Amino acid sequence: MSDETTTTQFPPQEQDRQPGIESEMVPRPDAEDESRRASGKLAGRRALITGGDSGIGRAVAIAFAREGAQVAIVYLDEHGDAEETRSEIEEGGGRCLPLAGDIGDPAFCQVAVERTVQELGGLDILVNNAAEQHETEDFEQISLEQVQRTFRTNVLAMFYLTKAALPHLGEGGSIVNTASVTAYRGHETLIDYAATKGAIVAFTRSLALHLVDRGIRVNGVAPGPIWTPLIPASFDAEHVEEFGADTPMKRAGQPAEVAPCYVFLASKDASYMTGQILHPNGGEIVNG
């Protein structure tokens, strides 16, 4: 990772669209820690990762590929970021299948799974990671449209993708869902987003119980403040400048610091874990 990993502040910046664009961020997020040695933890596995073009999803895709997995990355319309991810994985000798579309559309979710199975030869790991958030200072100004949109992307898409993937996931399969520290402590200006993340925790625990007899493990990761395109796309420049400084570690995390959680949960190293949540959040103690 770069020297910026230990920084407590970022230059003021914001983006006027969601999803955000990683290539426009300053500094760029660290998607890979080259000091970590791969050991083939996911050799021969096939993974589908939503939001895999940038941020945490990109870091997970790169980490999975380094560990021997073939990966399909789903993204909305950030074609430049997706191409960067694909190129980096393929330059390292891996295989990456980019799939553009809206995960809030159940028909697209079905197609994404079918193309993954067809082109990679199967599916062993599903990472439900893509999300959106919209900061709103006044609760009474949160529109019904915004609530529906946030739940559609963050929660309903997990149902769509999981239903489409389950016929292809056999014993030893793994599902990893991205929650958030906001599910445990709330957030005063991201109320609908925090509510979706709480739902994801309950979804993860319940689905784990439902699938345990099939030998499919379901776990989650609840990151704290991580430097991803969602940050400048969600907050104003002043907020971005202070992002992560309120954690015990006094800084935001990098995607490369979160990706090992997903590798662990998707691998046999976590064979006795299901229904659990990991917390890479800079030291905040939460009731996990």
Active-site positions read 193
What residues contact 265, with CB distance under 8 A and at least 6 apart? 174, 176, 217, 219, 221, 273, 276, 278
For tokens 């345990």, the residue is 212
Find the radius of gyration of the CA atoms of the chain. 17
The H or E element that residue 149 is part of is: helix 144-151
Q: Nearest to residue 241, comparing CAs of 7, 71, 69, 11?
A: 11
* Joined tokens for residue 270: 């976590």
Give SS3 for 283: coil
Tell me the helices (H) and strands (E) count for the chain, helix number first: 10, 7
* Joined tokens for residue 183: 């599910």
Please give the Cα distance from 288 to 278 (Å, whole number): 8
Q: Nearest to residue 45, comparing CAs of 167, 147, 141, 175?
A: 175
- CA max distance for the chain: 51
Answer whether 187's CB lies under 8 Å from 137's CB: no
Please give the Cα distance from 79 to 31 (Å, whole number): 17
